[in-house]
Amino acid sequence: METLLRLRASVAISIFALLLVLPSCSAQDIQVVNAERRIDLTSHIIKVFLTLKVENTGASPASEILLAFPPTQVDHLAVVKAQVAIGKRKKKTYIPQDVNPKELPDAPNGTKYFSISLLNPLAAGEAVTLEVLYMLTHSLEPFPVEISQSESQLVYYRDSALILSPYHIKQQITFIKTPTSKVESFTVVDPAHRAGTELKYGPYNGHPPYSYSPVIVHFENNSPFAVVEELVREVEISHWGSLQITEQYKLAHAGARHKGVFSRVEYQSRAGNSGVSSFRHLLARLPPRVHSVYYRDEIGNISSSRLRLGAQKSELEIEPRYPLFGGWKATFIIGYGLPLEDFLFESPDGRRYLNFSYGCPLVETVVDKLTIKVVLPEGSKGPSAVVPFPVNQYLEKKYSYLDVVGRTVVVLEKKNVVPEHNTPFQVYYHFNPIFMLAEPLMLTSAFFLLFVTWVAYLHIDLSLRK
């Protein structure tokens, strides 16, 4: 009994000690000395570069810095990355830091947070420069909602002139870049200024935490609003030397809806002036050494595609049967083969692994839902995937021609995918080479059986003649 009590007491003491040791850093201990934000609105994928010089004004080291987003923005966030900049000017080096969503109780007005975990905690009284990149999709709202073939596309972008932050910001400035100098209107929060394609908000001094000042920018944006609502990429590994890729696209133009009838004559005769927000070509970046490329839709093969092979990458330019206007959709399939030795390797522990690129090969495209299916060779065991960001993973079985036990399919799903996600991922698995003999063995035994039957038949025939 006594030892139990003593044990309890010591456990309580050690928990208490642990709590004391943990760096207690409240938001008040951090302040942003200087913030610069650059919002790039030239495409339909919005890129925001945020440079924050943060200072630890507390007494203990701080190991995390919070980023705040309004709840309306957080659903459209495709990427949030952060790195610490070290050194001055040309000698700057960048160290990537971990960024993860974080829930905090009593967040004002539903603010959502991302936490940057600093690899090297920020000592009391010190400052560090953070470079943050985040991307937003589906955040430009066409207005007018419908346009005719001869009209240009105008959109709204909503944000705050002041950077939303849980920290006090001493000094800040925001630059917004528009694709053209045609800006219909923008909310003025003094000082605000526009010159050509650049809008400047600030500098603003001394704003308390959670300062917010809504602004709307109404401007022209005719970049192709190419959104793949659903993309299924199947990567089939055959140990007989090739990787077969099949990609099924459901593509949509997510810009202002097309109003009235489509005139092909006008479209072709006034090129550059008619249907400026529509798109006609799409560019797919494929790996080098790609072969047996095809491109087809429900009707059949489409020949209007051009392939340029390169040492670094290959480019496939595809042209759907009709140009895509706002609200229009197209479904199609692209297929190609790749040499296995460029993508399949053996890891030091004897497992095999596929090293392939995640994301969508179409440039400057948003994918609402991406499913990658890696079909492993028959007889593979213990698959595991390594993807540099969270994805939904599960296994499936696929049976194809000549399969006995079926093939394991590793399925990786992700929503809201942007070109930034085109990074390598790996799928590891065990494979016993004896399985490579299975198919030829089956074929030879089938032929052998046929042969035996044939011989037997001949014998019967002979015996009859006698």
Q: Name which position in 426, 436, 438, 439 contacts ligand NAG (CB under 6 A).
A: 426
Q: Does 213 bind ligand NAG (CB under 6 A)?
A: no
Nearest distance in Å: CB 191, ligand NAG: 22
Taking CB under 6 A as the binding criterion, the range among 49-57, 118-126, 293-301, 323-331 that sits at the site for ligand NAG is 293-301
Q: Does 355 bind ligand NAG (CB under 6 A)?
A: yes
CA 272 vs CA 29, 126, 152, 222, 278: distances in Å: 55, 54, 11, 11, 10
Taking CB under 6 A as the binding criterion, the range among 57-65, 181-189, 292-300, 311-319 that sits at the site for ligand NAG is 292-300
Q: Which residue matches tokens 């299975």?
A: 438
Q: Contact 412/391 with Cβ under 8 angstroms?
A: yes
Q: Name which position in 3, 26, 93, 109 contacts ligand NAG (CB under 6 A).
A: 109
Find how far residue 382's CA is from the centre of its chain: 27
User: What is the C-alpha to C-alpha distance for residues 364 and 142, in angstroms, rounded to an integer?
Assistant: 18
User: What is the C-alpha to C-alpha distance for residues 344 and 276, in angstroms, rounded to an integer?
Assistant: 43
Which is nearer to ligand NAG, 117 or 160 (by Cβ)?
Answer: 160
| Residue of 178, 114, 139, 135 whose CA lies nearest to 48 | 135
Burial of 218 (0-12, 13-18, 19+ CB in 10 A): middle
Which is nearer to ligand NAG, 70 or 101 (by Cβ)?
Answer: 70
Nearest distance in Å: CB 109, ligand NAG: 4
Q: Does 312 bind ligand NAG (CB under 6 A)?
A: no
Which is nearer to ligand NAG, 219 or 336 (by Cβ)?
Answer: 336
Q: Does 310 bind ligand NAG (CB under 6 A)?
A: no
Q: Which positions ≥6 away from 232 have C-beta within 8 Å?
A: 247, 248, 371, 373
Size of the site for ligand NAG (CB under 6 A): 11
Which is nearer to ligand NAG, 143 or 294 (by Cβ)?
Answer: 294
Q: Does 262 bind ligand NAG (CB under 6 A)?
A: no
Which is nearer to ligand NAG, 94 or 451 (by Cβ)?
Answer: 94
Nearest distance in Å: CB 7, ligand NAG: 47
Q: Does 294 bind ligand NAG (CB under 6 A)?
A: yes
Helix (H/G/I), strand (E/B), else coil: 155:
strand
Contacts to ligand NAG from residues 158-187, by CB under 6 A: none
User: What is the C-alpha to C-alpha distance for residues 314 and 306, in angstroms, rounded to an integer?
Assistant: 10
| Residue of 227, 247, 228, 234 whose CA lies nearest to 372 | 234
Taking CB under 6 A as the binding criterion, the range among 29-37, 92-100, 295-303, 448-456 that sits at the site for ligand NAG is 295-303
Which is nearer to ligand NAG, 180 or 304 (by Cβ)?
Answer: 304
| Residue of 146, 136, 154 whose CA lies nearest to 221 | 154
Taking CB under 6 A as the binding criterion, the range among 175-183, 294-302, 364-372, 455-463 that sits at the site for ligand NAG is 294-302
Which is nearer to ligand NAG, 129 or 213 (by Cβ)?
Answer: 213
| Residue of 350, 374, 362, 376 whose CA lies nearest to 425 | 374
CA 268 vs CA 149, 276, 329: distances in Å: 12, 12, 20
Which is nearer to ligand NAG, 128 or 427 (by Cβ)?
Answer: 427
Where does this chain bind ligand NAG (CB under 6 A)? 108-109, 210, 212, 294, 296, 300-301, 355, 424, 426
